[in-house]
């Protein structure tokens, strides 16, 4: 199979779909890899590194899309890229379609086969291609939040961990999954007072067992969210419903009642955000202030540490990329129900229910589509 790796064009996005090591592995499996010139330049992966791994370097994204059987990216395709996709071409990347009807329509119209990293599953019920970036985003959320609490950034002027004789900040994390757990770990490491709120009692038990008295675990209700958010200095939104739009857990009325200069970091912004006052920002302008509360809502947070993120992501995606190339997408998915769960769009049809529910677009079961 001919695999194409275009340069990412989202604002301040420096990650790349395949590293030279991944390219070499694909070449070892008998596939051809086309990499756009300077695709990895921002993170120190040079064209000569890709050539040494066996890739063919091409000048333009247009050539990549025109020649490749499968496109491997990181971020969702931008409008100019939708138009270059063609019928029967495989697209393997993050999609986050639920809050993005325009992208969904563009992919449906293209006739491509779009497989979303974020909905591929594993045997333990996890999301193995989302987990590495959730780890990065969770850890970054505390770095970003601590920075936003500084006076110069519009915050309260509070040091997250305090100092002897001065209280540490109160950090509330909505969601105890991969990103929430990593956020909690970082916040506790900085000696903040940390509370995780989640609906899953078993998960709360696991967190309590793992972190002990250093972490406060609370069952999620409207009342408990309101109580803890209003008393917080930093709130991290780390909720996830796989493939679906994030629920709005913090209303605008609640934001208005928060302390002046407190901070909201919305990790869920890729799926529409879990704060009513959230809207996506970029690394160029990461924050805004609304109702005297600083909002950090960067839609590609891991892109700020693009080298770490690229290698972590490739470790997870490579086995699936090789399966798609070795067997063809249809057989690879029929052989692996976890990869099948990643199929969101197939030749003009939506194949993921949570996206259908969010967009109000008819869908067909992915398994029945492939069987037909």
Active site residue ranges = 96, 270
DSSP 123-163: TTS--TTTHHHHHHHHHHHHHHHHHHTSGGGTS----TT-B
Cα–Cα dist 236/246, whole Å: 14
Using alpha carbons only, how large is the chain's radius of gyration in Å?
A: 21
Residue 333 and residue 343 in contact, taking contact as beta carbons nearer than 8 Å: yes
Question: What DSSP character marks residue 225?
Answer: H
Phi, psi of 326 (to 5 degrees): -70, -45
Length in residues, the chain: 372
Cα–Cα dist 344/77, whole Å: 14
Structure tokens at 292: 């005297």
For helices 178-189 and 201-211, the axis angle rounded to 10 degrees is 30
What is the distance in angstroms between the CA of the first residue and the CA of the last residue of the chain? 23
DSSP 90-130: EEEE----TT-HHHHHHHHHHT-EEEEGGG---TTS--TTT
Residue whose entry in the numeric block shows the structure tokens 């006739």: 111
Cα–Cα dist 322/317, whole Å: 9
Q: How far is CA 280 from CA 78, 79, 153, 359, in A?
A: 15, 17, 18, 19
DSSP 337-348: HHHHTTEEEETT
Helix, strand, or coil (residue 201): helix
* Count of Cβ atoms closer than 10 Å to residue 52 Cβ: 12
Question: What DSSP character marks residue 1?
Answer: -
């Amino acid at each position: 199979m001919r695999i194409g790796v275009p340069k990412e064009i989202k604002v301040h996005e420096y990650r790349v779909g395949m590293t030279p090591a991944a390219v070499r592995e694909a070449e070892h499996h008998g596939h051809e890899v086309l990499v756009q010139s300077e695709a990895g330049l921002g993170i120190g992966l040079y064209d000569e590194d890709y050539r040494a791994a066996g890739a063919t370097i091409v000048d333009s994204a247009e050539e990549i899309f025109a020649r490749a059987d499968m496109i491997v990216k990181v971020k969702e395709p931008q409008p100019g890229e939708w138009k270059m996709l063609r019928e029967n071409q495989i697209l393997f990347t993050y999609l986050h379609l639920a809050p993005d009807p325009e992208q969904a329509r563009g992919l449906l119209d293209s006739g491509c086969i779009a497989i979303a990293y974020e909905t591929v599953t594993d045997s333990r019920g996890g999301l193995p291609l989302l987990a590495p970036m959730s780890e990065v985003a969770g850890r970054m959320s505390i770095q970003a939040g601590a920075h936003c609490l500084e006076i110069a950034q519009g915050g309260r002027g509070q040091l997250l961990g305090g100092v002897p004789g001065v209280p540490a900040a109160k950090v509330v994390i909505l969601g105890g999954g991969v990103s929430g757990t990593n956020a909690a770990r970082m916040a506790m490491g900085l000696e903040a007072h940390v509370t995780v709120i989640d609906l899953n009692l078993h998960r709360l038990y696991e967190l309590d067992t793992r972190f002990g008295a250093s972490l406060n675990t609370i069952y999620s209700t409207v009342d408990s969210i309101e109580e803890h958010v209003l008393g917080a200095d930093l709130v991290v939104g780390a909720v996830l419903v796989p493939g679906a739009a994030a629920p709005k857990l913090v209303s605008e009325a609640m934001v208005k009642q928060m302390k002046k200069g407190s901070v909201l970091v919305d990790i869920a912004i890729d799926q529409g955000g879990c704060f009513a006052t959230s809207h996506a920002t970029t690394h160029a302008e990461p924050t805004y202030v609304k109702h005297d509360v600083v909002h950090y809502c960067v839609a590609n947070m891991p892109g700020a540490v693009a080298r770490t993120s690229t290698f972590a992501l490739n470790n997870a995606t490579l086995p699936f990329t090789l399966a798609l190339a070795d067997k063809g997408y249809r057989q690879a998915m029929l052989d692996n129900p976890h990869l099948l769960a990643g199929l969101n769009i197939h030749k003009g049809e939506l194949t993921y229910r949570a996206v259908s529910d969010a967009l109000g677009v008819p869908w067909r079961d992915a398994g029945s589509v492939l069987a037909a």
